[in-house]
Amino acid sequence: MADDLPLSEQEKQEALGEANLAGSSDMDRMIAESEERWRNRPRVIPTEDTRGFKISEPRVCRLPNGGVSAGVIAQLQRNRAAREAEKKEERQEPNIEL
């Protein structure tokens, strides 16, 4: 039945204050301890067998056009043709500036 009673403002503040049990110095100490544990964590010592991941055969993309869609290839060809046309126009037209 005591749970049904509304809390006063002072009780609310006390309840909120109790949630923050660790002060800033405690937090700094806990962070330092955590970092020390991380630095001293157990590590796997590599042996000759586990020195590196070796690929037995090179991987080659076997999709047509290297996996690039036909629309993208067509756009690249159009862009290349447009650049070449611009270069030809620049070569043909003399640059006259006064």
The model's pLDDT over 35-90, given as tens digits with 9 standing for 90+, comes to: 999 888 887 776 666 556 665 666 666 777 777 888 899 999 999 999 999 999 88
Q: Which residue has the higher pLDDT, 9 or 89?
A: 89
DSSP 5: S
86 CB burial (10 A radius; 0-12, 13-18, 19+): exposed
Q: Does the pLDDT value for residue 32 go beyond 90?
A: yes
| Residue 1 binned pLDDT confidence (cut-offs 50, 70, 90) | very low
Give the count of domains, the chain.
Answer: 1
Can you give the pTM of this predicted structure? 0.33
* Residue ranges making up the domain that contains 70: 66-92
Give whole-number Cα distances, 43 to 38, 40, 54, 74, in Å. Answer: 10, 9, 21, 51
**pLDDT given for residue 86 in this prediction:** 93
In a domain, 13, yes or no: no
In a domain, 87, yes or no: yes
Q: Which residue has the higher pLDDT, 10 or 32?
A: 32
In a domain, 83, yes or no: yes
In a domain, 51, yes or no: no
In a domain, 71, yes or no: yes
In a domain, 78, yes or no: yes
